Amino acid sequence: MWFVLALIVPALLVILFTRVTYNHYVGTLLTVALLVASYVKGYTDQLYEIVADLASLIVGSLYAKQMVEKQKQS
């Protein structure tokens, strides 16, 4: 269950923060800050969950970048 959430939630957070700030760099940075805080707090200690978080973060960042570029063209 946690693995599935690790694959979905970071991408959704990047997209949400990008929609709010209109900047995919800020959205990605805010999501990274939340992930690092959760790692430091000790909520995630499995390596495969961290890798899933990072993969989802990358996918979400790429999608958010594409979304912002498409919005600027309109």
Q: What is the mean pLDDT of the chain?
A: 94
Write out pLDDT tens, residues 22-48.
Answer: 999 999 999 999 999 999 999 888 899
Q: Taking the complete model, does pTM exceed 0.85, yes or no? A: yes
Residues in Cβ contact with 12 at an 8 Å cutoff, skipping those fewer than 6 apart: 60
Query: pLDDT at residue 74 above 80?
Result: no
| Region 3-10 average pLDDT | 93
pLDDT at 19: 95
Give the residue from 60, 6, 52, 7 showing the smallest Cα distance to 29.
60
Residue 26 and residue 73 in contact, taking contact as beta carbons nearer than 8 Å: no
pLDDT at 1: 83
